[in-house]
Structure 1
Amino acid sequence: MDSAAGSSDGAAKPGDGLSVQNHSDVIVAGGGVAGLSAAAALAEAGAKVTLLERRPYIGGRAYSYEHPALAETVDSQHVVLGCCVNILDLARKAGMSDSIRWYDELVFLEPSGRRSLMRSGALPAPSHQTLSFLRAPMLSLRDKAAIASGLARFLRGYPADDSESFAAWLKRTGQTERAIRHFWEPVVVGALNDSFERCSVKYAGKVFHESFLRSAEGGRLGIPAAPLSEFFAPVAQYAQQQGVDVKLRSGVEGIAPNGDGGWSVHSGGTEYTADSVVLATDFKQTKQLLTNLPGSDDGRARLLEVFDHLVAAPITTIHLWYDRDVTQLDHAVLLDTRIQWLFAKSRIRRWPVERGSYLELVISASWPELEMGREDILASAIREFEGFFPAAKQAKLLKSSVLKEARATFSVVPGLDRYRPQQATEWPGLYLAGDWTATEWPSTMEGAVRSGRLAAGAVVGDKQRFMAPEVPAGGLMRWLSSVK
């Protein structure tokens, strides 16, 4: 998603010397993943759609940029899983499926260099990873027994209630210290971008049910093989092919009912009108746009209360360019360190050997790093990285960069579900999209696509119309899983 430039009053003023554009069926404010998904779905259904985006590019938080000093394209790595059916469906429609590199195993690395592999085998779900799990040297038999007992609680699904923290669940289920460090922590912190205390069991359970238990297909790891702006460019092209009028550098400054049963949208010196508006802006900007809308004081107060409970969580990435390959791996989960993930982007993108190696190290839930200087972050990360990959000490580090994203995701804190808003609002013709809305998913690209499609469904009066079918449960999970 992407935010749009705000105004002090938060409301459009029809007329008032503005240039009035042609009327649309729907205006989508925000050209991030959620906005693009909503616009494309509505245009597929035959609606006349205008998409307004304040930046000169689409993608919102899922973007890449040319680093001015390094002459390199930089982004924060995003991944998908096989269970992310809506973003994969959108990728298929946009003709970008081949831009995703798929992997069927996870490599867990200890600082000693010892490797544990998690991969699917011949056994049916939910036992498809059992053999590799039993062989994993990163865990003792006692650790594995505790993990197996914990995973068994997610066989039939995950809690519908999100009030319990994952920290409380770990204690309640008697998880061992090493099971927490070497299994639960890297998966949950990496997937939900927060500490156990600030993650609900519902969404942690969803991660394990969908990616470890329900099917082998659902747990496959997909990594974009192109910089994010390049990766998502076909989605914008697809939306335009469906008839969406994409207007860049067109931030939404205010919205208001226009008295004709429709809406006016103020962007710069232009007034746009539409029967419906989808706000696919981030939650901070959405609050600004909603604050002064006419309507029920109680209803507006309830909706605005949502934003007091949405908390942004940071991710810090360290980018390293070496003169040679120093990892021999495309990706890995790093244990007992501040770094959760390694992505060898040069290998994922299939660079020629002579071009050298480009690596990204990911630190999730990186509040301490927000207060640290670049050099301190870089020195610490390189020191830890070289502990895992000693070959880096003999290689030449050509370039480096540190990217801090203070608002990378939102936190799925316990009890948040009661505040996440539905896509339809109390104002007829006004809808919300964004991974922070009620999607039943955490803050992910899949959650963003789902929100856009749910908003498009709400516009046409059939909320599920544009949703892709879920990956079917495999093996024994066809009878065990209660999640349809």
Structure 2
Amino acid sequence: MSGGRVVVVGGGLAGITAALDCLEAGFSVRLLEARPRLGGATYSFTRGDLVVDTGQHVLLRCYTSYLRLLERLGVGHGVRLQRRFRVPVLAPGVKPAELTRWNLPAPAHLAPALLGYRRLGLAERARLARTALAMRGLDPADPALDEISFGQWLRDRGETPRSVDALWGLLGVAALNAEPENASMALAAKVFRTGVLDEAASCDIGITQLPLAELHGEPALRVLRAAGADIRLRCKARAIRRTEEGFEIPIREPAGETALPADHVVVATPHPVAAQLLADLPVAGAERWAGLSAAPIVNVHAHFDRRVTDLELAAVLDSPVQWVFDRTRVAGAERGQYLAVSQSAASRELEMRTEEIRENFVPALRELFPAARRARLLDFFVTREPSATFRQAPGTAALRPAAATEVPGLVLAGAWTATGWPDTTEGAVRSGALAAREVRQQRTRRGVEVTA
């Protein structure tokens, strides 16, 4: 007999992973996605001759589950990993600095980055090394760490405001989508231990070589359909209800409204949508999920009529710009150079008019890249993600639910669930795998046997 009927609600990375794993375990899978495509928040659109990603999704070599998913989708070649971690750090009017690592065992691999970083004084660099060793001794799963902010923990160790801005915040804001004062220390410890401190190669950066639509949504659709999944796009789940046989899911599609049966349901939507879907079910804590809130990311796009930099990516200090990426080739630009600026924790930019952003960011880019002063701007636009991540603040660990719920057969997935990771592509994929594992375990507990 088959493993049973699984309905996955939500076609982002968590839902895609859960669907693939359930298919491999012998389940019949239906995947429901309200959008006309898979991929969730990671997608692309066209603007003139550019293929534009909604956001710049940088990854690290330690994103093992995410990288494995890309291999399963046949697009492992769509990410290029640095041979060795290297980030140029720019600032207006001064020579570039650099964060890098050596081929030494951890944590000695960071010695050049911490002791040779010219953006800080000698005493600040020495303190950085002591702070890094202290962080390496932390347990990210310690509940006490989630009760304090990253900023508070750094102050308690004597880190100066400049050290926070020039190193800890430089990396932490991009990883956590939160300023250090507003970020959970538990999540910061996870980022810096797993991504930087525990293994030498973990921090090597992966840069996408394909538009996000070609990296996630399109290949996932092909692979899932080839594996036998029933993919329903433009299909909105309206609720999840218990029945004597399992579950019933009322849906709305272009062809009309109906209800789908299921033995298991994986809810892989953003947390506000999940709370609405489960309103009629006894899922403890769902009313608290609103406390996870949302944090924005804003992306600023500037297309110049000529090359203005040879850098593929750079972090920036003392400027409105946080991180800048050269996306010319990936976007298919036929002329000039197309730069994408990624602004995390971007509440201020979220409220700014596009013209106001242009007045701030175009001069900032020209100050960072002198060649841009002679370049003509072919296009300038802004993309906004108001709910790019959940708000990764102190106290949020208690709000993040496990995959299993009190309702047998009902499972949760999404980067906002209790993965132990921040809200990243890695966290999303891991959540999908955890959800599928829970479905398999529930089948085993019920004594259902699967035969080929």
Q: TM-score, normalised by structure 1?
A: 0.85
Which residue of the other structure, out of 315, 318, 339, is the alignment partner of 1:336? Answer: 318
Q: Is the 8 A contact 2:147 2:395 kept in 1?
A: yes
- Within 5 A, what are the aligned runs for 1:351-390? 355-390=335-370
Deviation at 1:368, TM superposition (A): 1.1
SS of equivalent to 1:154: helix
Deviation at 1:436, TM superposition (A): 0.4
Q: Which residue of 1 aligns with 2:449?
A: none
- The residue identity in structure 2 corresponding to 1:257 is R
- Within 5 A, what are the aligned runs for 1:282-293? 282-293=270-281
Q: Is the 8 A contact 2:38 2:221 kept in 1?
A: yes
Deviation at 1:243, TM superposition (A): 2.0
CA offsets, 1:229-254, max 9 Å, x none? 11112233222232221111111112
Check 1:336–1:158 CA distance in 2 against 1; reply closer, same or farther (3 A cut): farther
- The residue identity in structure 1 corresponding to 2:190 is K
Q: Which residue of 1 aligns with 2:75?
A: 96
- The residue identity in structure 2 corresponding to 1:72 is L
* CA distance in structure 1 between the aligned counterparts of 2:441 and 2:13, rounded to whole angstroms: 22
Q: Which residue of 2 aligns with 1:80?
A: 59
Q: Which residue of 2 aligns with 1:303?
A: 285
1:131 is the counterpart of 2:112? yes
CA offsets, 1:373-417, max 9 Å, x none? 110012201111111111101011111110111101112211111
Deviation at 1:362, TM superposition (A): 1.1
1:407 is the counterpart of 2:387? yes
- The residue identity in structure 2 corresponding to 1:361 is V
- Within 5 A, what are the aligned runs for 1:243-322? 243-260=228-245, 262-268=246-252, 269-293=257-281, 295=282, 300=283, 302-322=284-304
Deviation at 1:71, TM superposition (A): 4.8
Q: Is the 8 A contact 2:177 2:392 kept in 1?
A: no
Check 1:386–1:143 CA distance in 2 against 1; reply closer, same or farther (3 A cut): same
CA offsets, 1:196-225, max 9 Å, x none? 222111111111112221112211111211
* CA distance in structure 1 between the aligned counterparts of 2:239 and 2:29, rounded to whole angstroms: 18
| Identical residues among aligned pairs (%) | 38
Deviation at 1:157, TM superposition (A): 4.2
Deviation at 1:87, TM superposition (A): 0.5
- The residue identity in structure 2 corresponding to 1:304 is A
* CA distance in structure 1 between the aligned counterparts of 2:331 and 2:30, rounded to whole angstroms: 37
* CA distance in structure 2 between the aligned counterparts of 1:136 and 1:167, rounded to whole angstroms: 21
- Within 5 A, what are the aligned runs for 1:23-172? 25-67=5-47, 70-75=48-53, 76-103=55-82, 104=84, 105-159=86-140, 160-161=142-143, 162-172=146-156
* CA distance in structure 1 between the aligned counterparts of 2:434 and 2:294, rounded to whole angstroms: 22
* CA distance in structure 2 between the aligned counterparts of 1:39 and 1:433, rounded to whole angstroms: 11
SS of equivalent to 2:240: strand
- Within 5 A, what are the aligned runs for 1:460-479? 460-461=440-441
Q: Is the 8 A contact 1:108 1:333 kept in 2?
A: yes
Q: Is the 8 A contact 1:91 1:97 kept in 2?
A: yes
- The residue identity in structure 1 corresponding to 2:165 is R
- The residue identity in structure 1 corresponding to 2:318 is D
- The residue identity in structure 1 corresponding to 2:224 is A
- The residue identity in structure 1 corresponding to 2:155 is K
Deviation at 1:73, TM superposition (A): 2.3
SS of equivalent to 1:355: coil
1:430 is the counterpart of 2:410? yes
* CA distance in structure 2 between the aligned counterparts of 1:277 and 1:200, rounded to whole angstroms: 31
Q: Is the 8 A contact 1:91 1:235 kept in 2?
A: no
Q: Which residue of 2 aligns with 1:239?
A: 224
Residue correspondences, number: 430
Q: Which residue of 1 aligns with 2:199?
A: 215
Q: Is the 8 A contact 2:12 2:268 kept in 1?
A: yes
Structural RMSD (CA): 1.8
SS of equivalent to 1:117: strand
CA offsets, 1:451-474, max 9 Å, x none? 1110000001189xxxxxxxxxxx
1:194 is the counterpart of 2:178? yes
Deviation at 1:124, TM superposition (A): 1.6
* CA distance in structure 2 between the aligned counterparts of 1:288 and 1:271, rounded to whole angstroms: 17
Q: Is the 8 A contact 1:33 1:59 kept in 2?
A: yes
CA offsets, 1:261-280, max 9 Å, x none? x1111112121111100011
CA offsets, 1:111-144, max 9 Å, x none? 1242222222232211113124322211211111
* CA distance in structure 2 between the aligned counterparts of 1:238 and 1:216, rounded to whole angstroms: 34
- The residue identity in structure 1 corresponding to 2:131 is G
Deviation at 1:177, TM superposition (A): 2.4
**Structure richer in helix, relative to its length:** 2
1:229 is the counterpart of 2:213? yes
* CA distance in structure 2 between the aligned counterparts of 1:121 and 1:462, rounded to whole angstroms: 46
CA offsets, 1:274-317, max 9 Å, x none? 11000111111111111123x4xxxx4x4223323111000111
- The residue identity in structure 2 corresponding to 1:339 is V
Q: Which residue of 2 aligns with 1:179?
A: 163
* CA distance in structure 2 between the aligned counterparts of 1:312 and 1:351, rounded to whole angstroms: 32
Q: Is the 8 A contact 1:146 1:179 kept in 2?
A: no
Check 1:350–1:319 CA distance in 2 against 1; reply closer, same or farther (3 A cut): closer
Q: Which residue of 2 aligns with 1:11?
A: none
Check 1:187–1:114 CA distance in 2 against 1; reply closer, same or farther (3 A cut): same
Check 1:417–1:350 CA distance in 2 against 1; reply closer, same or farther (3 A cut): closer
* CA distance in structure 1 between the aligned counterparts of 2:296 and 2:23, rounded to whole angstroms: 34
Deviation at 1:26, TM superposition (A): 0.2
Deviation at 1:329, TM superposition (A): 0.3
